Amino acid sequence: MSGSAAETLFLVFFGAAAVWFGIVVFRTHSMVRSAIALLFAQTAVGAMFLVMQAEFLGVLQIMMMASEMSIMAIFMVMFMMDPGGLGAMEMTHQKRLSLKAGGAGFAFALGVILLGGWGPAAQEVPAAAAQTAALGRELLGRSMFVFESAGLTILTAMIAATMVAIAPQGEKEG
């Protein structure tokens, strides 16, 4: 089997895994299972990056999602009435609206993929270290404004979340 055929095969495999774990998110009753399924859907996307030889992005995706989804899991457990899913809670709500929104989102993504001008495909994949360097230049050059505003937004959210979590003066925790 040639290299590119194997690459396509793995890409399809991890793509299918990502979609399947995405479906599991809604099919399970347990909040923790749902969060972990989402985590593995994201990990599969990271694996797709690796198959496409975008090493830094792949490793970053696999690393970040492990912590992010785990933190999401504990929030889901804290806020939901039935985190273990023992009461067979339904994970889908407002089905008709969700279906329409999901369908519209899918159509939009498909439109961007098919109609967007992607430019000529790269003939050769740059070496992994060169990719990392190029990404660094991109983030600290052309995309710096977007990158920094995202960072500032997250910082604001973190400070706000900390403020909300701190008990008001004079009110001792029980």
Outline where 52-127 has alpha helix (H). Answer: 55-79, 95-115
Q: Interacting stretch for another protein, rule CB under 8 A, among 8-16, 25-33, 110-118, 144-152?
A: 25-33
Question: How many Cβ atoms are within 10 Å of 84's Cβ, its own excluded?
Answer: 13
Which range in 3-11, 108-116, 126-134, 163-171 contacts another protein by CB under 8 A? 126-134
**Cα distances (angstroms) measured from residue 158 to each of 19, 21, 63, 163:** 31, 29, 20, 9
Q: Count the site residues for another protein by CB under 8 A.
A: 25
If one asks whether residue 160 binds another protein (CB under 8 A), the answer comes out as no
Q: Site for another protein (CB under 8 A): which residue of 7, 13, 22, 55?
A: 55
Let me know how long the chain is. Answer: 174
Q: Determine the Cα–Cα distance for residues 81 and 29; give it in Å rounded to an integer.
A: 12
Span of 6-14, 53-61, 111-119, 137-145 interacting with another protein by CB under 8 A = 53-61
The tokens of 23 are what?
């479906």
Binding positions for another protein, rule: CB under 8 A: 30, 32-33, 36, 39, 55-56, 59-60, 62-63, 66-67, 69-71, 73-74, 77, 84, 127-129, 131-132
